[in-house]
Amino acid sequence: MLRRLLPLLALLLAALPAAAQERVLNVFNWSDYIDPYMVQRFTRETGIRVRYDVFDSLESLEGRLSAGRSGYDIIVPTSEPTFARLLRAGALRPLDRAAIPNWRNLDATLMQRVAAIDPENRHGAIYLWGTVGLGIRPDRVRAALGADAPLDSLGLLFNPENAARLARCGIMVMDSPTDVLPSVLRWLGRDPNGHAAEDHRAAEAALMAIRRHVRAIIASSSILDALATGEACVALTYSGDVIQAAARAQEAGRGVEVRYVMPREGAQLWFDMLAIPADAPNPEAAHAFIDFLLRPEVMAAITNHVRYPNAVPASRPLVEEAVRNDPAVFPSAEMLAGTFVAGTPPREAERERTRLWARFKRGR
Amino acid sequence: MRRALLLAPAWGWLLLFVAAPAGILVAIALAEPDAGLPPFRLAWSAQGFGTLAADAFYLEAVLSALRVAALTAMLCLLLAYPMAMAIARAAPRRRLVLLALVMLPFWTGFLLRVGAWIGLLRDEGWINGVLRRLGLTEAPLPLLYTEGAMLLGMVHAYLPFAVLPLFAGLLRLDPALVEAAEDLGARPFTAFRTVTLPATLPAAVAAFLLVFIPAAGEFVIPELMGPPEAQLVGRVLWQEFFQSRDWPVAAALAVALLVLLILPIRLFQRMEARR
Domains observed in chain B: 62-274 (1.10.3720.10)
User: Is the distance from CB of B62 to CB of B256 less than 8 angstroms?
Assistant: yes
Q: Measure in Å the smallest separation between the Cα of A253 and chain B Cα atoms.
A: 14
Q: Look up residue A231 and give its DSSP letter.
A: -
Query: Between chains, do A350 and B57 touch, taking CB under 8 Å as contact?
Result: no
Interface test with B, best of A57, A59, A207 (most B CBs within 10 A): A59
Mean pLDDT over each residue of chain A, to the nearest integer: 90
- Which residue is closest to A232 within chain B, CA to CA? B123
DSSP for chain B reads -HHHHHHHHHHHHHIIIIIHHHHHHHHHHTSEE-SSSSSEE-----HHHHHHHH-HHHHHHHHHHHHHHHHHHHHHHHHHHHHHHHHHHS-HHHHHHHHHHHHGGGGS-HHHHHHHHHHHHSTTSHHHHHHHHTTS-SSPP--SSSHHHHHHHHHHHHHHHHHHHHHHHHHHS-HHHHHHHHHTT--HHHHIIIIIHHHTHHHHHHHHHHHHHHHHT--HHHHHHS-TT---HHHHHHIIIIIS--HHHHHHHHHHHHHHHHHHHHHHHHHHHH-
Nearest to A114 by CA among A101, A133, A95, A100: A95
Q: Give exposure, B70-86, as e/b (b: 16+ Cβ within 10 Å).
A: ebbbebbbeebbebbbe
Do B39 and A216 count as a contact with CB atoms less than 8 A apart?
A: no
Eight-state DSSP code of residue B35: S
How many Å apart are CA A97 and CA B273, to the nearest integer?
70
Smallest CA–CA distance from A217 into chain B, residue: B228
Determine, for residues A89 and B35 on separate chains, whether the beta-carbon distance falls below 8 Å: yes
Residue of chain B whose alpha carbon sits nearest to that of A254: B124
CB contact under 8 A, A90 and B37: yes
Residue type, A172: M
The domains of chain A are located at 22-130+271-330, 131-269+341-362
With an 8 Å Cβ cutoff, are B57 and A229 in contact? Answer: no
Task: Please indicate whether residue A255 or residue B160 has the higher confidence score (pLDDT).
Answer: B160
Is the separation of the CB atoms in B212 and B72 below 8 Å? yes
Rounded-to-integer distance, Cα A262 and Cα A335, Å: 8
The residues with which A54 forms a beta bridge, in sequence order, are A29
Query: Average pLDDT in the B238-258 region?
Result: 89
DSSP state of A345: -
Query: For residues A291 and A275, what is the distance between their CA atoms, to the nearest angstrom?
Result: 12
Return the half-sphere exposure (C-beta side, CA atoms, 13 A cut-off) of residue B74. 6
Q: pLDDT per residue over A232-290, tens digit each? A: 999 999 998 999 999 999 998 888 899 999 999 999 999 999 999 999 999 999 999 99
The rounded percent of chain B whose pLDDT value lies above 90 is: 51
Residue A20 pLDDT > 80: no
Could you tell me the pTM of the whole model? 0.79
Secondary structure (3-state) at B245: coil
Contact predicate A249/A227, CB 8 Å:
yes
Separation CA B250–CA B39 (nearest Å): 12
Pick the CATH number of A131-269+341-362 from 3.40.50.10540, 3.40.190.10, 3.50.50.60, 3.20.20.70: 3.40.190.10
Interface of B with A (CB under 8 A): 33, 35-39, 55, 57, 122-124, 139, 142, 145, 228-229, 231, 236, 239-247
Backbone angles phi, psi at B211, to 5 degrees: -85, -45
Q: How close, in Å, is residue A18 to chain B by CA atoms?
A: 34
From A91, A216, A354, residue closest to B243, measured CB to CB: A354
Identical fold for domains A22-130+271-330 and A131-269+341-362, yes or no, is yes
- ipTM of the complex, rounded to two decimals: 0.72
Q: Of A41, A68, A119, give the one whose Cα is nearest residue A302.
A: A41
pLDDT tens track for A299-335: 999 999 998 999 999 999 999 998 999 888 898 888 8
Beta bridge partners of A49: A24
Cis peptide preceding B202, ω within 30 of 0: no
Q: Say whether A132 sits in a helix, a strand or coil.
A: strand
A97 has pLDDT over 90:
yes
CATH of region A22-130+271-330: 3.40.190.10
Yes or no, beta carbons of A230 and B246 under 8 Å apart: no
Interface of chain A toward chain B, CB-CB under 8 angstroms: 57, 59-60, 62-63, 65-68, 85, 88-91, 168, 170, 177, 214-217, 229-231, 347, 350-351, 354-355, 357-359, 361-364
Which chain A residue has its CA at the smallest distance from B224's CA? A218
Q: How confident is the model at residue A81 (pLDDT cuts 50, 70, 90)?
A: confident
Q: Which of A60, A91, A363 sits opposite B229 (nearest CB)?
A: A363
